[in-house]
């Protein structure tokens, strides 16, 4: 095997706990132990007595050293960055001035797209052209998602879209955010006709994510890249027209990923159930023949 195949994930600590050479969190110097071994270690830990001194001696953190912290920082720097992010935004959350009820919501995406908003506000024809292109993109993603089921016989993307839009409808109706005062609408933008729509979350972005994920799964990487680029551009346009808040777009990305995963789990569960049913029927037929 190559090094890329045989390489294992770095353990969370540089060396094992003195307790039988293992940690009670399931991490060892060689990798991860199974659930049965975990239960045995937990029993050995619990059976040693309930004294406070014994508990602290067996606690994993009592064996941590400076070398362990250095090892974690070197080999697990991504979780370390997130830990720093938690601390930073905890300070921000407890010290920033909240937006008063009489003011419009603050949105960092609106601040970043002020120039684009000014251009679109002064050029209604350009806004209409971009809105029409956005509607075409929605048609493209809808056609692709429907095609995967109706023509290719793969229902995962379609199921993901059904899950996603149903959940969007529930959440969008449950919390109806105010439409931004600087909203630039267009009669050709989807939904066509300047009708009302839910702000939270962006169905445009989530739908494009579902289509793109399916394309990557089928190794249609160039088509997926085109959809991803269009998705980024439409997100910028939505912020520039004040058609969605930044949180709508961010959650739209997450929703596309989440519901694609849930649809995959549903599809696997359905196939397992179908296989089990077939095996049961075969077993019954065998008993009848015997």
Which of 25, 64, 19 lies closest to 44, judged by CA?
A: 19
**Rounded-to-integer distance, Cα 220 and Cα 187, Å:** 33
Instruction: Tell me the three state secondary structure of residue 28.
Output: strand
Number of Cβ atoms within 10 Å of the Cβ of 227:
25
Is residue 248 annotated as part of the catalytic site, yes or no?
yes
Which of 287, 200, 217 lies closest to 257, judged by CA?
A: 217
Q: Which of 107, 117, 189, 244 is catalytic?
A: 244
Q: Which of 107, 189, 214, 248 is catalytic?
A: 248
Give the burial class of 80: count Cβ atoms within 10 A of its Cβ; 0-12 exposed, 13-18 middle, 19 or more buried. middle
Q: Which of 23, 204, 214, 260 is catalytic?
A: 204
| b/e code 247-275 from CB counts within 10 Å (16+ = b) | bbbbbbbebbebbbebbbebeeeeeeeee
- Give residue 67's region: left, alpha or beta (phi > 0; psi -120 to 50): alpha
**Rounded-to-integer distance, Cα 109 and Cα 180, Å:** 12
Q: How far is CA 211 from CA 71, 110, 131, 205, 256, in A?
A: 40, 27, 20, 10, 9
Q: Which two tokens stand for residue 224?
A: 């997926």
Which residue carries 């008993």 as its tokens? 287
Which residue carries 């909240």 as its tokens? 98
Q: Which residues share a beta bridge with 59?
A: none
Is residue 204 annotated as part of the catalytic site, yes or no?
yes
The residues near 169 (Cβ < 8 Å, ≥ 6 apart) are 198
> Which residues are annotated as catalytic?
204, 244, 248
């Amino acid at each position: 095997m190559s090094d890329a195949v045989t390489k294992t994930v770095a353990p969370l600590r540089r060396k094992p706990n003195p307790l039988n050479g293992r940690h009670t969190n399931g991490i060892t110097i060689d990798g991860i132990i199974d659930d049965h071994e975990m239960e045995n270690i937990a029993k050995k830990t619990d059976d040693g007595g309930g004294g406070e001194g014994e508990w602290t001696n067996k606690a994993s953190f009592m064996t941590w050293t400076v070398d362990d912290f250095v090892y974690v920082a070197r080999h697990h720097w991504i979780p370390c960055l997130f830990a720093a992010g938690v601390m930073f935004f905890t300070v921000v959350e407890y010290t920033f001035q909240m937006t008063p009820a009489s003011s419009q919501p603050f949105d960092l995406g609106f601040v970043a797209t002020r120039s684009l908003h000014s251009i679109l506000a002064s050029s209604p024809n350009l806004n209409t052209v971009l809105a029409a292109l956005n509607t075409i993109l929605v048609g493209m993603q809808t056609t692709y998602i429907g095609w995967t089921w109706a023509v290719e016989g793969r229902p995962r993307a379609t199921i993901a879209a059904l899950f996603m839009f149903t959940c969007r409808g529930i959440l969008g109706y449950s919390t109806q955010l105010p439409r931004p005062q600087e909203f630039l609408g267009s009669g050709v933008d989807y939904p066509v006709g300047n009708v009302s729509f839910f702000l939270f979350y962006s169905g445009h972005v989530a739908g494009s994510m579902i289509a793109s994920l399916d394309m990557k799964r089928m190794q249609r990487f160039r088509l997926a890249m085109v959809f991803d680029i269009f998705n980024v551009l439409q997100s910028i346009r939505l912020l520039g027209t004040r058609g969605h808040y930044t949180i709508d777009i961010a959650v739209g990305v997450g929703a596309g990923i989440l519901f694609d995963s849930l649809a995959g789990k549903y599809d696997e569960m359905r196939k397992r159930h179908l296989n089990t049913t077939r095996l049961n029927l075969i077993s019954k037929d065998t008993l009848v023949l015997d």
